[in-house]
Amino acid sequence: MLTDRATPQTVRPDDDPLADPNWQEPEQPGERLSWFRLLFLILALGAVGAGSTFGAMRLRENAGTRAKSWAVPYVDVTLTPTFEFQDPDANPANDVALGFVVADRTDGCVPSWGGAYTLDEAAASLELDRRISQLRAAGGNIMVSVGGQSNTELAVACADQARLTEAYRQLVKRYQLATLDLDVEGAALGDQASLKRRAAALKTVQDERKAAGDPLAVWLTVPVSPSGLTADGLAAVRATLDGGVALRGVNVMTMDYGTGNSANPDMLGLTTQALDNTHKQLTDLYLRLGAQLTSAQVWSRIGATPMIGQNDVDTERFTVADAQGLATFAVDKGLGRVSMWSLNRDARCKGTFTNVVVHSNTCSGVDQQALAFSKVFAGLPGTSVGSSGRDAVEIPNRSSAIDDPTTSPYPVWRLTAQYVGGYKVVWHGVVYQAKWANSGADPSADDTAGAPNPWSVVGPVTTGDKRPTPTPNVTGVTNVWNPGTSYHRGDRVTYNDLPYEARWTTRGDAPSTDYPVDPDEAWAPLFTVPGEPVVN
């Protein structure tokens, strides 16, 4: 979990800790130039064995069109001692994510840094504005992260829509932001009202920036488990997209998996598993919203943020070797972003061995050289190209979409219809298929805990699709249905040139043309509708 204020350092020894006589002051990083950083990465990985050297070479060899992973580590702005992110000798990264902006403690609609500094106070006491200018002068850039685990997020604290919008607008203008990061976790994830307020405010600011020719990219940072996004996390992503935000990507916090019963969990394996499952979830979500993305396009909209070193769970430690593995995974998949929590922690803790559990905001709690994690990720070949918001996915307006039965390739979904497994329908411009028999379940809804959606998404309706043509299963039916005739069970008629059979005695009840024809209708269809599973 990402926090924005220092917590006391705690040491819990597995056996007696002794001071490490070999500990030395942190080493200084190399130049900021990206290719020098990449060369350093290759040489550094070579020192730990042939396998790592191969991984580093793969980073270099795959630095093509798909290898655009952007390294943007977090910096805890208000933590003491102040991390000099603008200093090339202290920060190997080119770009940084500054956290966290939260609600002011006296006025929830006013942005503050960690609840401790107003924006003006941060400029005066932390020299924040000046340090940002220095970083940019050296070729770097920032994004600002709003939210975090501690304090209260702006959209939660501020119920005034106009003032909330102004708070985001103020941040973007003051820090000349091209990218804004929304870190939504804890109780804020389930706060539906704040999710809607946040989306509405962000959409307004994005629309303003787009009109001015200077688009704003928005990343949403949420928790993740090895099985993927949590139900609340997925709902938060959907609420943001439903609110009209042009979401650049979803950054998942690959940390604190809760594997306390495992003595030595595979953190890299858990992380790649979490990312693979997130990819599946987002692919499905975008399809449900009417946008069909390629696998590579989805990967480019996913970010990963590990907690380097010791995680909050005692047994979970993300090592430098894990970071090297994640960097290779990021390039292989074309991951859009790799962050880490945090640059403040990228150093070895003084006077401890690796079998000592250390939770600290200023050191990693694992055996490492100074800035080792930063140097690994700084070697990623991508930049913030594409973060301007110009390549955001356009989500169709589903609320105003009207499915036309004359052009839909399958029947339009009906609330009261009774569907069997395998049946295909169209709803809000998207094709779905029933995973099992169901009725009344909105195909476009997300899975919820304990109540998975019985519909799987197939893909959007295309302009070339046509109305489905039913296929009769029998021949020789010639009697046309007449409203004045009494029919008995087994009688057969045609209606709209399709054959039906009476289920019971009926008079005046026209055969249904709403597909599927429900079993409580008087007339059973003797034909098959496209998308209807064939029962042998």
**HEC per residue, 460-504:** ECCCCCCCCCCEECCCCCCCECCCCCEECCCCEEEECCEEEEECC
Residue 394 DSSP class: P
Distance, in Å, from the CA atom of 51 to the CA atom of 70, rounded to the nearest integer, reads: 24
- Record the tokens describing residue 51, joined without a space: 């396998």
Quote the pLDDT of residue 51: 36
Pairing of strands 247-253, 302-304: parallel
pLDDT of residue 240: 97
User: Span 134-146, mean pLDDT?
Assistant: 94
Q: What angle do CA 62, 64, 68 make, to 5 degrees?
A: 95
Residue 489 in this model has a pLDDT that exceeds 70: yes
Alpha carbon dihedral 317, 380, 282, 210, in 10-degree steps, equals 130
pLDDT of residue 354: 57
For 75-128, the pLDDT digits (tens) are 999 999 999 999 988 889 889 999 999 999 999 999 999 999 999 999 999 999
Separation of alpha carbons 222 and 229, rounded Å: 8
- Provide the whole-model pTM: 0.82
pLDDT score for 398: 60
User: Which DSSP helix (H) or strand (E) runs through 114?
Assistant: none
d(CA 497, CA 503): 19
d(CA 299, CA 414): 34
Q: So what's the pLDDT on residue 1? A: 64
Residue 311: pLDDT over 90: yes
Classify 168 as helix, strand or coil. helix
Strands (E), 104-237: 111-113, 117-118, 141-147, 179-183, 217-225, 228-229
**Distance between CA atoms of 44 and 107, rounded to whole angstroms?**
48
Query: What is the pLDDT, as a whole number, of residue 407?
Result: 84
Q: Which residues contact 487 (CB under 8 A, 6 or more apart)?
A: 493, 502, 505, 506, 507
What's the whole-number average pLDDT of the chain?
Answer: 86
CA–CA separation, 166 and 148 (whole Å): 20
Extended beta strands in 254-371, E state: 302-304, 309-310, 317-318, 337-338, 356-359
Catalogue all structural domains in the chain, each as residue range(s) with its CATH number.
Answer: 31-378 (3.20.20.80), 402-467 (2.10.10.20), 469-536 (2.10.10.20)
**Which positions are catalytic?**
185
Q: Are 176 and 133 in contact (CB under 8 A)?
A: no
